Amino acid sequence: MHKCVRCNRIASSLEEINAGCPCGSKVFVFNKNGDSGNRSAAEEAKAGEENAGAAPEVQQQVQAVAEAPVIMKQNGKAPSSYYARTSFTTDDVENIRVQSEGVFVLDLNTLLKSPVVLKDEEGVYYVKLPYDEKKAAKGKKAKK
Amino acid sequence: MIHRLFDWLRGIFSRKKAIRLGIYGSPNAGKTTLANRICVDFVGEPMGAVSPVPHETRTVQKKDNISLKFHGCKLSMSLLDMPGIAVKVDYRDFLEYGISKEEAQKRARDATRGVVDAVKKMDEVDAALFIIDATEDPYTQVNITILGNIEARKVPVIIVANKIDLPNANTAKVQEAFPGYDMVQVSAMTGENLNGLYKEIVEKLS
């Protein structure tokens, strides 16, 4: 579920997320479990009791986390691709390979220096020709 | 009267241009969480949504007119929250979060475009914060490649070892992996040691 960071209202549809919350905010936080924002009073009380038995410094930490803005909360871990390594050679002209639909491998080093060259699953290459909008705009003005 | 006029003129001519500070790092390192913290602290509103699903930020997010004030020093800046940089984007990474295959494949396409945009924007930033998840191994191809390229461009960079609130955070390993860089350890989620980061930014960049 997606929850508005300003008023905590839960978005009921994708259209609402795109259009923004009625309160005016356009920022939503995604909650994978979809239930932590709607804990019942009994659950809240139970959690409070559990925390009450903890050491003071732990209670302080719990309090600090609870008071942090909702948007800051994340329990993300690195995706498996975090540790991915690619092996592009100097003979490769492409800097993006499409291995299959939705699976992309990138050569960051050549992306930093060269135009985007994409190679699809069938070995077809696509080149994105560089176009400097600022220089083009300057050239047009000079012609005038 | 003359003094006031003189001060006003001095203010105009000594006004520094705002720097563009780019936030770089791998997906789920905590870039947007940190950007939100900075924006909430100095502008009063967050920058973008965060999510446990990797590649939540898929376009470059920009916040202008941030005036970072710390201990009498002031730094005007535009903050650019970059999409997470990865050498591989695989839609199957998103499926475990309950996203449909079609949606995951679209997310992978957008994320790849985001990586390209983030890399190309490297020529437009004046300084960079490079966020490393201190709970993960820092010796990755992305960290080494991007930090090397930032350094090659002579762009000032501060490494931010994030997630120090987690028990398995190992900031010593991050410092050991990149010994020549200034490093600040923070928890963007709890706000721990953000003042240390602000101090480093102001001292290094103003």
Residue B5 covered by a domain: no
Residue B127 covered by a domain: yes
Average pLDDT of the residues in A46-69: 44
Q: How confident is the model at residue A37 (pLDDT cuts 50, 70, 90)?
A: very low
Average pLDDT of the residues in B69-75: 82
Q: What angle do CA B16, B17, B22 make, to 5 degrees?
A: 125
Question: Cβ separation of B104 and A106 shorter than 8 Å?
Answer: no
Residue B3 covered by a domain: no
d(C-alpha B190, C-alpha B39), whole Å: 15
Residue B171 covered by a domain: yes
Residue B12 covered by a domain: no
Average pLDDT of the residues in B186-201: 93
Residue B9 covered by a domain: no
Q: What residues make up the domain containing B161?
A: 17-205
Strand partners, B159: B130, B183
Average pLDDT of the residues in B60-74: 86
Q: Residue A9 in 3-state DSSP? A: coil
What total of structural domains would you count in chain B? 1
Token code pair at residue A45:
């009380």
The CATH number linked to B168 is 3.40.50.300
Residue A23 backbone phi and psi in degrees, to 5: -75, -10
Strand pairing report for A117-119 and A96-100: parallel
pLDDT at residue A58, as a whole number: 43
A interface with B, Cβ–Cβ below 8 Å: 2, 5, 27-30, 32, 61, 64-65, 68-69, 71-86, 96, 101-109, 111-112, 116
Contact predicate A37/A10, CB 8 Å: yes
Residue B7 covered by a domain: no
Strand partners, B88: A105
Closest by Cβ to B26, choosing from A64, A72, A78: A78
B100-119 CB burial, b ≥16 within 10 A, e <16: eeeebbbbbbebbbbbbebb
Question: Cβ separation of B93 and A77 shorter than 8 Å?
Answer: no
| B188 vs A46 pLDDT, higher one | B188
pLDDT at residue A93, as a whole number: 86
